[in-house]
Structure 1
Amino acid sequence: MSPSPSRIPLGIACVMGGIFSLTVSDTLAKWLGHIYSPMQIVFLRGGIATLALLILAGQLGGRQALLTSHLGVHLLRGALNVLTAYCFYLSLTFLPQAEATAIAFSAPFFVTIISVIFLKEKVALAGWLALLTGFAGVLLVVRPSPDHMQWAALLPLLTALGYAVMMTTARYIKAQESMLTMMLYLGVGQAVFAGPLSAWIWVPVQAEHWLGFAGIAFFSTVGLGLITQAFRVAPASIVAPFDYSGLIWATLFGWVIWHEVPSTWFYAGALLIAGSGIYVALFSGRNKT
């Protein structure tokens, strides 16, 4: 059954709002990442978000938000989110924000590969050519050479892989589950999996940084919730290309806040990544109609 056309603008608005929220969260994490371990940031992000969402759930009806028939899927998504967030936050301490974001936007290519291997979907030759073009764009951004290549460039690639798996699992959660339930279990998963890993590298939080951690918790949870909701209410082939608005925000924030000026190689690679990703999304969407 085709989705209602009236829900498509909602899906686009959700994904664009979600991407902007995640960029704000990433910017705060880049700031705090020079003081605290990425794993501690992930744990506090999940812990603060869980407390806030539990309070919100109590105000909006209580137990209903806690009910789910997909606990295993939620826990898997929480573990994947810890992995992806840790890798990306760590990459932000070594790479410019725009560069790390551009590499992480190779996620649509992993979504396609996952769909072929595990969901037995078919991809035409043009689709594979688009994937290779996007990979070429990643190479332009990374520029692997003895003089330029950084191991940190592998971190946003791992982020992209984990993000692709996490977004793919959204289709296994029934549409009847509310966005509040989705966000709550994501926060719980972050706290449960990141807590033990952050205990041995814990750094006491300075009073002036609590607001920053609260901002990371708020914007990351809302961002992931909005993006997940977008994939649930509208076709992925329509909403996925709007992910690339994040390249604009990451470049702008990196320039204004961190005075990071991307190279010409970055713009060329980002254009290839975004263009091929948009093509893959639209091309796969036409194949399914």
Structure 2
Amino acid sequence: MMTAGVACLSVNDALAKTLTAHYAPLQILFLRNLIAFPVALLIALGMGGRAALRSHRPGAHVLRAVLWIGATLMFFTSLMHLGLAEATALIFVAPLFITALSAVFLREHVGWRRWAAVIAGFVGVLVVVRPGSATFQPASLLPVATALTYAALMLGARWVDPRESVWTLLLYLTGTSGLLSAVIVPFVWVPVRPGDLWLFAAIALFGTAGMTMMTQAFRLAPAVVVAPFDYTALLWATVLGWLIWHEIPDRLTFVGAAIIVASGVFTVWREHRVKA
């Protein structure tokens, strides 16, 4: 379930990269949410019933939607300048940011082993980004900022009333981010070409399916079992980048990605051991 969900989100990212050639990231986000909302509504009703439509703390959903919009816009913008595999590799620092933010803002205990993994992960980021070198691109910082915002979004789930199901979170995240993006999308709107309509429909379909399957995966198995499969996204991103744009990441990108993945897997495993 997790692997299938990750594959769907990788296709979603590839479609977004294709669409950024003609549309602003905000317009892509708005149309994706507009098309995906009815699907999310049906999923929420089917899995959670009418109770899934009720929020006990709507302000939390608004704040999470703002973070979601920021993360998506930064990542879609990065795809305009970076290879799909490179951007995906940098996104993998999100679990490390979650660990660091949990320690700083939530006062959770993080041992020296997990701090070492966080530091190692950021060393991997430096290997991929290579600041100061001739190959450095400022756009490489966008996926890292995306990962930080995404980490805040994940921790923001704690602000949501515990009586609300994951289906309520999915529904309100899609709907609220769609409403908020609708306010400013007129400033960047360009007419949608008829031949691109299927791409927008596909990005909504794959994005919603990916999020739903990944959510369900965490319901079916412990996080320590499920979470490492998130890193299969690098395989999908590499294959899709090669097939569509003939992108081949260089050796240092793979080395840095391997360090980030190893750090993330260790962090998940160590957190499970500590809680056990």
State the alpha-carbon separation in 2 of the partners of residues 155 and 17 from structure 1: 26
State the alpha-carbon separation in 2 of the partners of residues 100 and 61 from structure 1: 34
Residue identity matched to 2:89: A
Residue identity matched to 2:244: I
Residue identity matched to 1:206: R
Match of 1:46 in 2: 33
Q: Which residue among 242, 252, 262 is the counterpart of 1:265?
A: 252
Structure 1 counterpart SS, 2:123: helix
1:216-256 C-alpha deviation (Å, 9 max, x unpaired):
11222232233344445544333222211111111111111
1:171-194 C-alpha deviation (Å, 9 max, x unpaired):
454676455433221211221121
State the alpha-carbon separation in 1 of the partners of residues 121 and 46 from structure 2: 45
Matched, 1:277 2:269: no
Matched, 1:126 2:113: yes
8 Å Cα contact 1:170/1:232 also seen in 2: no
Match of 1:110 in 2: 97
Q: Which residue among 151, 175, 184 is the counterpart of 1:188?
A: 175
TM-score, normalization by structure 2: 0.91
1:38-79 C-alpha deviation (Å, 9 max, x unpaired):
011011111111134346667889744322223222222222
What number of residue pairs does the alignment pair up?
A: 276
State the alpha-carbon separation in 1 of the partners of residues 20 and 14 from structure 2: 10
Matched, 1:160 2:147: yes
Q: Where do residues 122-271 of structure 1 align in structure 2 (5 Å cutoff)? A: 122-173=109-160, 177-231=164-218, 234-271=221-258
Unaligned runs of 5+ in 2: none
Q: Where do residues 22-101 of structure 1 align in structure 2 (5 Å cutoff)? A: 22-54=9-41, 63-101=50-88
8 Å Cα contact 1:102/1:247 also seen in 2: yes
Structure 1 counterpart SS, 2:247: coil
CA 1:60/1:258 → structure 2, altered by over 3 Å: closer, same or farther?
Answer: same
Per-residue deviation, 1:215 = 1.2
**Which range is displaced more, 175-184 or 278-287?**
175-184
What is the root-mean-square deviation in Å for CA atoms of aligned residues? Answer: 2.2
CA 1:239/1:73 → structure 2, altered by over 3 Å: closer, same or farther?
Answer: farther
1:110-152 C-alpha deviation (Å, 9 max, x unpaired):
0001110122112222211111111111111111124121110
8 Å Cα contact 1:170/1:231 also seen in 2: no
Residue identity matched to 2:247: E
CA 1:18/1:271 → structure 2, altered by over 3 Å: closer, same or farther?
Answer: same
Residue identity matched to 2:119: L
Structure 2 counterpart SS, 1:147: coil
